Amino acid sequence: MSTLLIEGGQRLSGRVHVEGNKNSALPLLAACLLTQDECVLHNVPRIGDVEVMARLLLDLGAEVDGIGTTTLRVRCPEILKDEPDPTLVGRLRGSVLLLGPLLARRGRVRLAAPGGDFPVRRTIDTHLAALKGMGARLADGPGHALDAPDGLTGVSIFLDEASVTGTETALLAAACATGRSEIRHAATEPHVAELCRFLESMGAGITGAGTSTIQVEGVARRHGTTHTLWGDYIDAGSWAVIGAITGGTVEVTGARAQDVEVCAAVLRRLGVQITFEDGLLQVEPSQLVGAGRITTGLWPSFPSDLVSLVTVLATQAQGSTLVHDWMYELRLFALDQMSGMHADLFLCDPHRIIVSGPCRLRGRSLDSRDLRSGMSLIAAALTADGESRVSPLETVERGYSRLVERLQSLGARVTKLT
């Protein structure tokens, strides 16, 4: 495991570029299994989670060229097995996206319990309900065992929650099911719409992408395609917070205006001077103020993936902010260790935290327990007095490409210790 050594108190300035959306790359890679033809993905983020998914595809018999670069070429003329490597599955929540493609190509799947952040708290009941609705049957065996020897059949389903990966599982299965499917109460996040566009380019008929009701006309044969991933708006929002919390001028390129506006709106409530023009997101030195209340929600509300970062930003704002993340129970718990940095935090319950500021933070050793809170603790360390150590760094590198390199390009005094 690696540790990031951070000397805080530096004003960061400069330009960073964001690569493709992590939450798009994983379902698009899974979709590549739906065809025997070659699929080419450009602007792929060079992150740990993408590498794990690529290696899962290799384990299943696919040919994957370009691992570790921004262009991946995937061919899968034959899937050799229906039980993905349990060790790799245990490292990646997104491995659940393999259920639909394996049922389509093999007629059965045996998937160990997916890992990732908070695996015990995040069930896949929505995914299983969608697959069972299309004709898959639960089978005996460890983990998640499903059979569909006669293939999948289109169905009209109402998802019990607007789960992003649950919607993506339903889409991947519906694209190769016989007949027409309708998915209601679907997630509307940009990465779900991007998967719809990708499946369309493979031959599936899709209407309603980006809305809560999606119709899918399955096709017997899906063909190869080429796609350039849309920029990662969570990555862009993260770097905007880095700029704001250190009092610098940071420019971010690569994201779409319609995606980052949900992040920018909340940052403006905290007093951040932020603009987006001609593809350039820019943060200027700002006088931060408490936002009163920030609540996460389903798209296009403020995304839970940024709630930890804005909580840390609120420690530097004048006044109080109540942050309410109703979606996940454990994300805010990881920030409680900032009390040892002299942050003024009151954890009301697993979903709500009150932040009062501004606080002069002090460096310390920090535990990156999950991807997003790990990046938030790095942000806290960058503005703190003295030295901090954040580990394991690999947790954060699962979702942030070239993290150390980009921090150093902005003037951060950081060193990766192995």
CA pair distance 362, 255, nearest whole angstrom: 33
CA pair distance 209, 417, nearest whole angstrom: 44
What is the phi/psi pair of residue 277, to 5°?
A: -150, 135
What is the phi/psi pair of residue 100, to 5°?
A: -60, -50
Q: What angle do CA 38, 41, 44 make, to 5 degrees?
A: 150
Q: At 413, which helix (H) or strand (E)? A: strand 413-417
Give a three-class secondary structure readout of 125-193.
HHHHHHHHHCCCEECCCCCEEEECCCCCECCEEECCCCCHHHHHHHHHHHCCCECEEEEECCCCCHHHH
Q: HSE (CB half, 13 Å, CA atoms) of 352? A: 9
366: three-class secondary structure by DSSP: strand
CA pair distance 21, 255, nearest whole angstrom: 9
Strands 292-295 and 319-324: parallel
Give a three-class secondary structure readout of 281-317.
EEEECCCCECCEEEEECCCCCECHHHHHHHHHHHCCC
Q: Tokens 């003329």 map to which residue?
A: 77
Q: Tokens 């940052």 map to which residue?
A: 267
Closest CA to 401 of 15, 38, 47, 24: 47
79: three-class secondary structure by DSSP: coil
Burial of residue 8 (CB within 10 Å: 0-12, 13-18, 19+) is: buried
- Which residues are marked as active site? 117
Burial of residue 373 (CB within 10 Å: 0-12, 13-18, 19+) is: buried
Joined together, the tokens standing for residue 22 give 């992590």
Cα torsion 248, 253, 258, 262 to 10°: value is: -30
Cis check: omega of the bond before 358, within 30 degrees of 0? yes
Give residue 4's region: left, alpha or beta (phi > 0; psi -120 to 50).
beta
